[in-house]
Amino acid sequence: MEKNLTDLSTRESSPEILFRETRNDADCRMTNPLTLAFIGDAVYSYYVRRYLIAKTNMNVDHLTKASVNYVKAEAQAYAIHHMDNLLTETEKAYVRRGRNTKSIPPKHADKMDYRYATGFETLLGYLSLTNQNNRLEFLVAAAISICEERRED
């Protein structure tokens, strides 16, 4: 039986146990959207890197530069705008929560792109922490495909 992350008093200290812990939807609704975006950013970056390694035979420097075309705020905002028809109402609510959270965008990012990218990452964080891996991978694959199509235009 998996433990709930909100019960701090009974947490086990073993990293491998903590990796397996999940949150339910109620826990995620109580979680700061920027915390969900924090994990969502890492999850998306991981999948993009796996995709690029499988697709190409580039050196690490080129892989890093290629990944930017998928993970930068502008690309994530573009992807989430084109995924609206793929999202459930719950997923749209997580995107809105992340998008509407106050945060300071980096100087190089457009404010609205950054907000939508945060919404996208919030959604991915929610799916990851609730262990909805098939749905997570479907949406990540859709985002990568959208970014690929965008680059071809």
Strand partners, 4: 22
Question: Side-chain half-sphere of 34: how many Cα atoms within 13 Å?
Answer: 8
The length of the chain, given as a count of residues: 153
Pick the catalytic residue from 41, 61, 113, 153: 41
The contacts of residue 98 (CB under 8 Å, 6+ apart) are 33, 34, 36, 37, 115, 118, 119, 120, 121, 122, 123
Closest of 25, 28, 111 to residue 74, by C-alpha: 111
User: Do 75 and 147 touch, CB atoms closer than 8 A?
Assistant: yes
What Cα–Cα distance (Å) separates residue 138 from each residue in 25, 87, 135, 142? 19, 11, 5, 6
**Has 25 been annotated as catalytic?**
no
* Residues with a known catalytic role: 41
